[in-house]
């Protein structure tokens, strides 16, 4: 997938980015491409600026958090963060990182995923989780939701019961079901004060879109 981003876009960690960006993405998923990594990086640096932590560990975790590509529909989806953590450890080991710092990065990557359902125990891990989840809500989150639904061949909504009043939610077959099934729940689980403040604004955009969507259909 074509991108114009270079290591310079990841200031102040350009040197690290130059070393790890060749390992950062796999496949052709436009919702987990280099542009996604850059948005998460910017979110993470903004949160880090208020919450502290080791900036280089945060940057490495962001740059490599999606370094293994697993489609949403894959049975391996819940293992994606573990696979990425293992690959990231190998990449950083090859760059001469100390084992203790590699472990910090691997923990952050392992626990960032919603589907993994693991609790982040360090400030760096909490920053990555919040920064990544910010990209799943708001206007970008809406765009990514429908992009992914298109890749999966999902319908926009269940024509007979779009709000799932008399059926179970099924976000594999109906894109709009992904809002109550996951997206609308994310903002209540942010781990940092800075991330929570950003999430609240994006949650309002989700709510407004969903209301408009149901009004139009």
pLDDT digits (tens, 9 = 90+) for 116-161: 778 999 999 999 999 999 999 999 999 999 999 999 999 999 999 9
Domains and CATH numbers, the chain: 1-129 (1.10.3210.50), 136-217 (1.20.58.1910)
Write out pLDDT tens, residues 76-119: 667 788 999 999 999 999 999 999 999 999 999 999 987 777 89
Helix, strand, coil abundance in the chain, percent, nearest 5: 65, 0, 35
The answer to whether the beta carbons of residues 98 and 128 sit under 8 Å apart is no
pLDDT single digits (tens) 21-53? 999 987 778 888 999 999 999 999 999 999 999
Pick 78 or 165 by higher pLDDT.
165
DSSP bridge partners of 168: none
Tell me if 88 sits within 8 A of 68, measured CB to CB.
no
Which residues face 174 on adjacent strands?
155
Residue of 114, 158, 110, 165 whose CA lies nearest to 137: 114
């Amino acid at each position: 997938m074509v991108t114009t981003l270079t290591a310079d876009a990841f200031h102040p960690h350009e040197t690290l980015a130059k070393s790890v960006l060749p390992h950062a993405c796999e496949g052709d998923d436009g919702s987990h491409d280099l542009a996604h990594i850059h948005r998460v990086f910017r979110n993470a640096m903004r949160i880090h600026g208020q919450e502290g932590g080791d900036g280089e560990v945060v940057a490495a975790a962001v740059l490599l958090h999606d370094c293994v590509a697993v489609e949403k529909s894959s049975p391996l989806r819940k293992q994606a963060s573990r696979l990425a953590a293992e690959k990231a450890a190998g990449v950083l080991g090859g760059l001469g990182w100390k084992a203790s710092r590699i472990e910090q990065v691997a923990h952050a990557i392992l626990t960032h995923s919603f589907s993994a359902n693991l609790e982040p125990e360090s400030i760096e891990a909490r920053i990555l989780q919040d920064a990544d989840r910010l990209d799943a809500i708001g206007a970008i989150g809406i765009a990514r939701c429908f992009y992914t639904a298109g890749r999966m061949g999902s319908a926009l909504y269940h024509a007979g019961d779009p709000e799932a009043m008399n059926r179970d939610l099924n976000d594999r077959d109906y894109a709009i079901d992904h809002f109550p099934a996951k997206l609308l729940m994310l903002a209540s689980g942010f781990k940092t004060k800075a991330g929570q403040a950003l999430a609240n604004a994006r949650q309002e955009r989700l709510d407004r879109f969903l209301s408009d969507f149901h009004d139009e259909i």
